[in-house]
């Protein structure tokens, strides 16, 4: 069916116009797609074919062809525009304004051969009697030829197949297997922590603070032996390789989950039981009459006698706590943990399972501290290190602080695969 462009103008609903505008401004959009999008946008504004052709430096024939294809393609879509998602509409528009399939040169490798090549790339090279830790394009090409999968193949083609399948044998990342003794309990705890994170803003409105707390130990005061050379056009920053050690300090930090801010940070030489209890005391002092929910790991100092007595004091509990190692609540680590996790207390603690530091949001803040301050800085003393950490915390709270976007879904947990990035 032919469309007379002069008699049938192109109308763009606001939803479609926004998508076209976004496509025309995307840096990664192909030049041909941007040109075709501009044709449709200009045509919708009432410009004639000659005006569009002159404005874009193309022929009237090109303008007519893409306007006709647009009208033909939109004919079947106009009834479902309101119900369609922006992503599906964008894919439909890209397909509509893309090049039609061409015959081209017949493929040199069959789908079965490509599948076998990818399968080899997913294997351990040592299973093929190659004493290497991971595949390179050259060695993978040699292996598939040796196995008779293909008679010959170039490294460039191997790289193209790997890229198409998003397979990167040269990359790796660390992961830690939680290996829970009781998967049901593990799943329940992970779900509880994720629900607490999700409900943190609502709980704060009710006067309940959700706080993620942990220590960052062994922060080194390293002094570069020579000044850092700042970046210039064509040259990146250069840091002195050699350094002098001035000692270490420990940062105990509590992150208000719903605000993304640190509360009453403690910078001290040690992280002993007394240090941690004093930090929790300082955090509670910022809002004495509120309720507190602390999320932390199962370190011994996080379940210590001092912490139990602190909670009992602030919750006005007049019960007999017993004697450490002998009787009552203080008898064992298990009894102290049960007391500290009691949901009936105004101040309670929720412990992450073993080997799941990624569940504690404060770890993400520690990563920010390392990247933005510690990694490149030079400190002449531990006191200077402590002062700069405190200054950075104040700066972060007033300038950069915002809640972390928690994306981990406990229902998707699989014990046999590496951890996905949580946030």
The two beta strands, 291-296 and 208-224, are parallel
Question: Do the Cβ atoms of 339 and 308 come closer than 8 Å?
Answer: yes
Identify the CA nearest to 244 among candidates 226, 223, 227.
223
User: Percent of the chain, pLDDT > 90?
Assistant: 62
CA distance 402 to 412: 26
Q: What are phi and psi of 322, to 5 degrees?
A: 85, -160
- Placement of tokens 């397979």 in the chain: 167
pLDDT of residue 85: 84
The answer on pLDDT for 27 being more than 60 is yes
Exposure b/e, 25-43, CB count within 10 A at least 16 = b? eeeeeeeebebbbbbbbbb
| Strand ranges inside 207-242, DSSP E | 208-224
pLDDT of residue 181: 81
Identify the CA nearest to 141 among candidates 124, 160, 154.
154
**What single DSSP character describes residue 237?**
-
- The mean pLDDT of the chain is 88
C-alpha neighbours within 13 Å on the C-beta side of residue 352: 23
pLDDT of residue 5: 54
- Per residue in 100-111, pLDDT tens? 777 777 889 999
Put the strands of the sheet holding 243-256 in their side by side order.
261-268, 243-256, 208-224, 291-296, 347-351
pLDDT of residue 342: 92
The helix/strand/coil state of 256 is strand
The answer on pLDDT for 413 being more than 60 is no
* Residues in CB range of 308: below 8 A, 6 or more apart: 321, 329, 330, 336, 339, 340
CA distance 147 to 151: 9
- Per residue in 326-344, pLDDT tens? 899 999 999 999 999 999 9
Q: Where are the alpha helices (DSSP H) in 165-323?
A: 183-205, 273-285, 305-314
C-alpha neighbours within 13 Å on the C-beta side of residue 282: 16
Q: Burial of 260 by CB count in 10 Å (0-12 exposed, 13-18 middle, 19+ buried)? A: middle
pLDDT of residue 174: 80
User: Percent of the chain, pLDDT > 70?
Assistant: 94
Rg of the Cα trace of the chain? Answer: 31
CA distance 291 to 20: 50
Confidence of residue 419 (pLDDT cuts 50, 70, 90): very low
pLDDT of residue 7: 40
The answer on pLDDT for 161 being more than 80 is yes
**Torsion over CA: 209, 212, 217, 220 (sign):** negative
- Per residue in 68-94, pLDDT tens? 888 888 876 666 677 778 888 888 888
- Per residue in 267-293, pLDDT tens? 999 999 999 999 999 999 999 999 999
The whole-model pTM stands at 0.68
Q: What are phi and psi of 74, to 5 degrees?
A: -75, -15
- Per residue in 48-66, pLDDT tens? 889 999 999 999 999 999 9
Token pair for 416 = 């046999």
The answer on pLDDT for 12 being more than 50 is yes
CA distances 241 to 81, 224, 378, Å, are: 59, 7, 12
Higher pLDDT, 147 or 357: 147
CA distance 307 to 324: 12
pLDDT of residue 112: 93
CA distance 115 to 339: 56
């Amino acid at each position: 069916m032919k469309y007379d462009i002069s008699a049938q103008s192109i109308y763009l609903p606001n939803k479609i116009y926004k998508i076209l505008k976004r496509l025309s401004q995307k840096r990664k959009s192909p030049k041909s797609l941007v040109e075709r999008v501009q044709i449709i946008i200009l045509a919708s504004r009432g410009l004639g074919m000659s005006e569009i052709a002159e404005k874009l430096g193309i022929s009237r024939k090109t303008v007519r062809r893409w306007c006709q294809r647009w009208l033909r393609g939109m004919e079947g879509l106009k009834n479902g525009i309101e119900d369609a998602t922006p992503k599906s509409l964008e894919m439909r528009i890209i397909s509509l304004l893309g090049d039609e399939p061409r015959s081209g040169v017949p493929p040199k490798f069959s789908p079965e051969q490509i599948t076998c090549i990818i399968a080899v790339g997913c294997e351990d090279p040592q299973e093929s009697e190659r004493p290497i830790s991971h595949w390179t394009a050259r060695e993978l090409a040699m292996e598939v030829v040796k196995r008779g999968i293909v008679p010959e193949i170039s490294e460039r083609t191997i790289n193209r197949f790997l890229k198409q399948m998003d397979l990167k044998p040269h990359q790796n990342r660390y992961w830690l297997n939680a290996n829970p003794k009781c998967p049901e309990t593990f799943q329940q705890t992970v779900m509880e922590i994720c629900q607490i994170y999700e409900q943190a803003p609502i709980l704060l409105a009710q006067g309940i603070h959700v706080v993620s707390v942990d220590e960052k130990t062994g922060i080194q005061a390293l002094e570069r032996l020579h000044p850092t050379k700042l970046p210039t056009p064509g040259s990146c920053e250069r840091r002195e390789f050699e350094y002098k050690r001035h000692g270490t300090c420990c940062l105990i930090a509590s992150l208000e989950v719903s605000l993304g801010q640190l509360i009453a940070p403690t910078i001290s030489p040690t992280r002993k039981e007394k240090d941690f209890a004093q930090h929790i005391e300082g955090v509670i002092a910022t809002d004495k009459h509120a309720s507190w929910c602390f999320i932390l790991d199962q370190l011994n100092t996080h379940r210590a006698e001092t912490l139990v007595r602190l909670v009992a004091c602030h919750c006005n509990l007049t019960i007999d706590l017993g004697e450490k190692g002998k009787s009552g609540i203080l008898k064992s680590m298990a009894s102290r943990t049960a007391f500290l996790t009691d949901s009936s207390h105004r101040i309670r603690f929720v412990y992450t399972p073993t080997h799941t530091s990624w569940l504690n949001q404060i770890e993400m803040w520690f990563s920010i501290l390392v990247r933005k301050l510690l990694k490149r800085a030079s400190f002449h003393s531990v006191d200077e290190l402590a002062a700069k950490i405190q200054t950075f915390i104040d700066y972060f709270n007033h300038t950069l602080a915002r809640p972390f976007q928690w994306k981990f879904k406990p229902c998707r947990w699989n014990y046999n695969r590496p951890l996905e990035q949580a946030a």
